[in-house]
A and B are shown apart, each in its own frame.
Chain A
Amino acid sequence: MSVRQEKESSTSALSAQEVESRYGIDLTVAEVLRHALRYISLQMQLKINAAALSPLLSEMNDFGIGLLGPRDEARDLDFDAIAMSTGAPAHFVINQYYARMAIEHWGAERFEPGDVVIYNDPYRGGSHVNDVGAVMPIFHEGRLMGFAASITHWLDIGGPVPTGFGPGLQRDVYAEGIRLSPRLLYKRGELVRETVELFTEQTRIADISSNDLQVVKAALQVGADMVGHYVDRYGPDAYLSAVEYTLDYSERAVRRALLEIPDGTYHAEDHLDNDSEGDPMLLRCTVRKFGSEIEIDFSGSAREDWNGYACQWSDTVSAAHLGLQAILLESVPPNAGAYRPVHVVAPAGSCFHALPPMSTNSGHLFFLVKSTTLVKMAISQADPKLAVGENYDDICILSFAGIDTRLKHPIPFVYIRFPLGPFGGSALGDGCCYMPIEEGNAVETSIEFEEEAQPLLFLEREFVTDTAGAGMHRGGPATRVVIAPLVDSESTYQLEQCRFPTKGAFGGGGGSMASILLHKGSLARWSGLEELAEPEVVAGFADPDDGAPIDPDDARAVFRISKLAGVHFKAGDVIALQVAGAGGYGDPRERDPEAVRRDVRNEIVSPAEAERLYGADLG
């Protein structure tokens, strides 16, 4: 039997006998512990949801939390991620680098029971400075059994820009906020005051920080305690055998799925709307797939650029894994085993592999999502049953910060919204209409909560007619969110696909482009039931004379950069943010006529477009 054949036979499920002989535990124990690891990480997640003050943690799930194994050469374990909660997938894969590099930097042998080490340097295998990593060792009778690990997105991390996202304003990493090499947050269970003070003195969210740092510790403790419970019950050797079994289980599932993808080399190309000068950035991805191995290569992509137009290699690798996981038809429990069959080429100095001191805080969002989409677009060509139309590929941001002067005692506020958007059509059906991006899996905070907590009013959140890419299975439509700040505010916005529309797959059409429009001082008009003032383009194509929206094909059209920080809006301005519509799948003429009629009834498609694109006879 050749090595290759052995690899492929290793994708089939193991018999009870094979489990016993390979891992020294019976199948029932192996499965009980495999599920227990996942369950523990979910309990850790609930602790954060229940106790955190930051809405990004309590409401949105912008964090990842779970368990790492120990270092044990004989068992091929090296602080690998063994279970992750269901929070934001952007925070799953990256622990393979972020947590391990922090543990190595601190020194695995230096950890004591009750310690928590905290870090946020993105150039140490991380994502961006807002993503605060933390690890707590798990000891059993003096033996290190692994770590509880978390990555939590901090609402504000100091630096010149509220919320930390400063495209165009943060030239390099030194302008991003506080950056911590690994250090103690808790020493043998005691809070280290000086570490907390870094957050209370240097961020804009002192109260949230002092609470949530303790919540992170409490959640890690839940993980450590629960692992301790299982180790007590089954013994340390059975526990570690089950860890090996759990990783191999996910690896087999991914290899099985990879065998289903036809061997070959597949290419995808896309653009980021603009670099820091306003020019488009070319993005390329080549996927090579043979047997149960895959290599994802971002060679040929644009060079890194200052002011936030680059991301960490670890982020790109994480995104490549997520793109693959997203396109596989079966979902695989996320752990290091699932990542074993994947190699990623991230050329140094490209926008997918920033070299210090490039700023990556904003680029974390742009390129994480772009690289996930590129992988999906490339693999889409391998097999129609895997293909998807392009989704809105951005973690969009609209933030507001300032002083809530409506109050008797004015207080500062920092607010960030991540509007959701639509997915592309696929062989299975129409694209979802309003979804978090794969990397996010995040819940949108409720408008009622936001209006209560922040000086903001939401005037509208609606699907927009004729924005969905046409197809046998159409893409999801764009959503428009209309917001009015009630006090003068400083904003950041980041929105992709304002220049290049989404693409369809296998004959499907592209969706509409995104934009941000400003209706100056229009809240009063809206309250008086009048029409809003004529819009001015904030992001997208504008008439150079008056800033009004213009057809992108008009020779006079100028592109206004779709990512910027330090933008000022006045109390009572009305801002309309519309995400891209998603691409369709398959020939629109093959769409079920009843589905077209339903789209017209739901105002997803207008009668005129139903006739033009779908040949519908609505008579």
Chain B
Amino acid sequence: MLFPQPTDLTIDEPLEPVDAACPECGNEAVFKYRLVDYRGWLRVTKCRACLNVLDRVRIEPPAQGGA
């Protein structure tokens, strides 16, 4: 099949651990992952405890759907 369906039955957003404590709250639950804000896709480094965003890079989507 040209475009296979994922083999995992459920899908998680991959979280890349970051070796840093949150400068806001000191928690170590800081990860790098993708999310959508009100203008589109971001790759963030973000604290899962206090939602402080340590870093954000906008992801420009490639043309999809055959264009």
**Contact (Cβ within 8 A) A173 B35:** no
What are the 3 tightest A-B residue pairs by CB atom distance, in nearest-first order? A123-B65, A339-B38, A350-B11
* 14 A/B residue pairs, CB under 8 Å, sorted by A: A101-B61, A288-B51, A293-B51, A295-B51, A297-B13, A303-B5, A314-B36, A340-B37, A342-B38, A343-B35, A345-B34, A349-B11, A350-B10, A356-B65
Could you tell me if A303 and B11 are in contact, using CB atoms closer than 8 angstroms?
yes
1/0 per position for A71-114, CB-CB distance to B under 8 A?
A: 00000001010000000000000001100110000000000000
Does B16 make an interface contact (CB < 8 A)?
no
**Contacting pair A97 B13 (CB below 8 A):** no
Is A317 among interface residues, defined by CB-CB distance under 8 A? yes
Does A301 have its Cβ within 8 Å of any Cβ on chain B? yes
- Least CB distance from A590 to B in Å reads 36
The answer to whether B3 and A347 touch across the interface, beta carbons within 8 angstroms, is: no
Q: 1/0 contact trace for B28-67 toward A, CB 8 Å?
A: 0000011111111000101011111000000001001111
A345's partner among B13, B40, B61 (CB-CB below 8 A) is: B13
* Bound complex: CA A540 to CA B4 (Å): 30
> Closest CB-CB distance, A277 to chain B, in whole Å?
11
Is B24 touching A4 in the complex (CB atoms < 8 A)? yes
- Chain B residues near A179: list those with CB within 8 A: 65
Question: What residues of chain A have their CB less than 8 Å away from a CB belonging to chain B?
Answer: 2-4, 78, 80, 96-97, 100-101, 121-125, 173, 179, 181, 282, 284, 288-291, 293-295, 297, 299-306, 313-314, 317, 336, 339-340, 342-350, 355-357
Whether A96 and B51, one on each chain, are in contact in the complex, defined by CB atoms closer than 8 angstroms, is no
Contact of A336 among B8, B13, B34, B38 (CB under 8 A): B38
Q: How far is the CA of A357 from the CA of B2 in the complex (A)?
A: 10
Q: How far is the CB of A409 from chain B (nearest CB, A)?
A: 40
Chain B residues within an 8 Å CB radius of A302 = 9-11
For the A-B complex, the count of residue pairs with Cβ-Cβ distances under 8 Å equals 107
Q: What residues of chain A lie closer than 8 Å to B38, measured between beta carbons?
A: 80, 96, 336, 339-340, 342
- Beyond the given A173-B65, A343-B44, A345-B33, could you list 4 further A-B residue pairs with CB under 8 A, ordered by the A residue number? A80-B38, A297-B13, A299-B11, A300-B11
Number of residues on chain B facing chain A (CB within 8 A): 30
Name the contact of B64 in the complex, choosing from A4, A306, A356 (C-beta under 8 A).
Answer: A356
Bound CA–CA A122/B67 (angstroms): 13
Chain B residues closer than 8 Å to A301, beta-carbon distance = 10-11
CA distance A284 to B13 in the complex (A): 12
Of B37, B50, B64, which contacts A290 at CB under 8 A?
B50
Binary contact track B1-31/A, C-beta < 8 Å → 1, others 0:
0010110111111000000000010000000
Contact A121 B11 (CB under 8 A): no
Cα distance, A349 to B48, chains bound together (Å) = 23
> CB < 8 Å: which of A2, A100, A304 contacts B6?
A304
Distance to closest chain B CB from A359 (angstroms): 12
Q: Which residue of B lies closest to A295 (CB)?
A: B51
Nearest CB in chain A to that of B14: its residue: A347
Is the pair B37, A343 in contact by a Cβ cutoff of 8 Å? Answer: yes
Find out whether the CB atom of A123 lies under 8 angstroms from the CB atom of B39: no
* B-chain residues with CB within 8 Å of residue A289 when the two chains form the complex: 51
Assembly CA distance A415 to B46 (angstroms): 48
Q: Is the CB of A305 within 8 A of B13?
A: no
User: A313 to B42, alpha carbons, bound, how many Å?
Assistant: 13
Task: With a 10 A CB-CB cut-off, give which of A299, A306, A342 has the most chain B CB atoms.
Answer: A299
Contact residue among A123, A347, A355 (Cβ-Cβ distance under 8 Å from B13): A347
Tell me the minimal C-beta distance from A524 to chain B in angstroms: 46
A344 and B67 within 8 A (CB): no
B65 to chain A: closest residue by CB = A123
Please state if A123 and B9 are interface contacts (CB–CB under 8 Å).
no
- Knowing A121-B65, A179-B65, A356-B65 are in contact, say whether A96-B39 is a contact too (CB < 8 A): yes
* Distance A9 CA – B11 CA, assembled complex (angstroms): 38
B3, B6, B12: which contacts A356 (Cβ < 8 A)?
B3
A344, B35: Cβ atoms closer than 8 Å: yes
Q: Is the CB of B10 within 8 A of A78?
A: no
- Complex CA distance for A314 and B46, rounded to whole angstroms: 21
Note all chain B residues with C-beta closer than 8 A to A293: 51
User: For B39, what are the chain A residues with a Cβ–Cβ distance below 8 Å?
Assistant: 78, 80, 96, 100, 336
Q: A343-B36, A345-B35 are in contact. Are A303 and B6 (CB under 8 A)?
A: yes
Q: Is A356 a contact partner of B36 (Cβ separation < 8 A)?
A: no
Roughly how many angstroms separate A369 CA and B18 CA in the complex, as a whole number? Answer: 34
The answer to whether A357 touches B3 (Cβ under 8 A) is yes
Query: Which of A284, A290, A306 has the most chain B CB within a 10 Å cutoff?
Result: A290
Chain B residues positioned under 8 Å from A125 (CB to CB): 40
The answer to whether A317 touches B36, judged by C-beta atoms less than 8 angstroms apart, is yes
Chain B residues whose CB sits within 8 angstroms of the CB of A299 once the complex forms: 11-13
